[in-house]
Amino acid sequence: MTSYKELGLEPIINACGTVTRLGGAPMPVAVLEAFHAAAQEWVPLEQLQAVASRKIAETTGAEAGLVTAGSAAALTLGTAAILTGYDLGRMERLPQTDVFPNEIIIAREQRSGYDHAIRAAGARLVEVGFNEITSNAGVRRTELWEFEAAINSQTAGIAYVLGPGSCPALNDVVAMAHRHNLPVIVDAAGELPPRDNLKRIPATGADLVAFSGGKAIRGPQSTGILCGRRELVSSAALQMLDMDDHLELWNPPAEFIDQSQLAGIPRHGIGRGLKVSKEEIVALLTALQLFAAGAYDEDLPRLRGYLESIQSGLQIPQATCRIVEPSSPDRWPILEIAVDEKSLGRTAFEVCKTLRTGSPTVFVGHGKLSEGILVVNPLCLNEERAAQLTMRLVEELGKTVGTTRVSSE
């Protein structure tokens, strides 16, 4: 805590949860201790990643896994693997892909800023379907035949962003892609919990799946997981790891990188800038084990308690609180605060802005501001911060502009 103060920064109250902009998830003590211990000694990174691969495989049911620099890095590396396989010449060329198949098909409605990570490997995104629901100009979502109709000799694979209600079903996309011998890479960055998803998503047969390590898994914010088919994970590892060795000396674990498939030893690949440290790998594996074993379930009553205390402290006419129950039993609830913008004389957007500039500084969830709703995610709160948050909310939502005192200013 004091370290931020020494840097001249005042820590904020994060009521947004695991968002990257504010520093991600709280790391459990066991994860921090693992990080600390891993910093005291040295191991070859490819051996450590081979162990990580086995552990990720056990936890996800996938053939192999890799600890990456976040889910976004997993998408870049996974795409690189799809584009190159074990072809060293292609690895060397990335992100230049004009002389081999480089098209990745994606539903237009699944496009987001995160797919920059896919394009960064050199893939060209080919959009299918429309966004008719959003444009209020139709009733249909993307359909399977639209993916199939876009397949041609330049197609390298399919990208799929998993979310509640993503469409068409991932199972169907995978089955269709496999009929055409095409791999599917899935962005499942934020789809945990439920922790079952660790196994359920790879079980669809998806060739590669990306998870964030710094969201609900509560590993270092800069980590992620790429898991899936052994040869693709292996190709991804080759394009991330430090490759400065002699072929005759280089001896990666055979089940992780099968040297017999390689014409030589690649040089530093497209993922060299996406490296992960030994400490981050060990910390992420520790967090993954805790998450998968359900160790975080014991926090759920505490997290709910913060929301209930905010709700009971915010009994004012300008705010209506509602605890939104989670979609799975191993998820925590969130609190929605509907702002009566008319009686308050200010919009939820304005309240969100003043919360960010007041003291202590508070960041609340800003995904529903257009509906007049502030969202509180309790994951990064503690008792003290929950109390301070309640105080700031009462201050901001208790000031009505309708009174002569304020409006006469």
Ligand X SMILES: *Cc1c(COP(=O)(O)O)cnc(C)c1O
Smallest separation, CB 216 to ligand X (Å): 11
In whole angstroms, the minimum distance from the beta carbon of 40 to ligand X comes to 27
Q: Which residues pair with 125 in a beta bridge?
A: 104
**Other residues' Cβ atoms within 10 Å of the Cβ of residue 246:** 7
State which residue, 20 or 96, has the beta carbon closest to ligand X.
20
Instruction: Say which amino acid occupies 106.
Output: I
Q: How many chain residues bind ligand X (CB under 6 A)?
A: 12
DSSP structural state of residue 270 = T
Length of the chain: 409
Residue 187 or 396: the one with the smaller Cβ distance to ligand X is: 187
Burial of 403 (0-12, 13-18, 19+ CB in 10 A): exposed
How far is Cα 409 from Cα 407, in angstroms, rounded to an integer?
Answer: 5
Binding mask 192-231 for ligand X (x = CB under 6 A): --------------------x-x---------x-------
Q: Name the segment binding ligand X (CB under 6 A); options: 36-44, 102-110, 146-154, 187-195.
A: 187-195
Which of 66-74, 176-184, 199-207, 249-257 is the region at the interface with ligand X (rule: CB under 6 A)? 66-74
- Round to whole Å and give the CA distance between 147 and 107: 8
CB of 106 to ligand X, least distance (A): 13
Alpha helices in 154-266 (DSSP H): 170-179, 197-200, 230-238
Site string for ligand X, 82-121 (x = CB under 6 A): --------------------------------x-------
- Pair of tokens at residue 111: 């496009």
Closest residue to ligand X: CB criterion: 70
Neighbours of 267 (CB within 10 A): 11
Return the number of the residue (20 or 47) whose C-beta is nearest ligand X: 20
| Angstrom distances, CA of residue 206 to CA of 62, 131, 178 | 9, 24, 9
Sheet containing strand 334-339, strands side by side: 319-324, 334-339, 373-376
**Binding-site member from 70, 122, 333, 372 for ligand X (CB under 6 A):** 70
Binding mask 147-186 for ligand X (x = CB under 6 A): --------------x-------------------------
Chain positions contacting ligand X, by CB under 6 A: 20, 70-72, 114, 161, 187, 189-190, 212, 214, 224
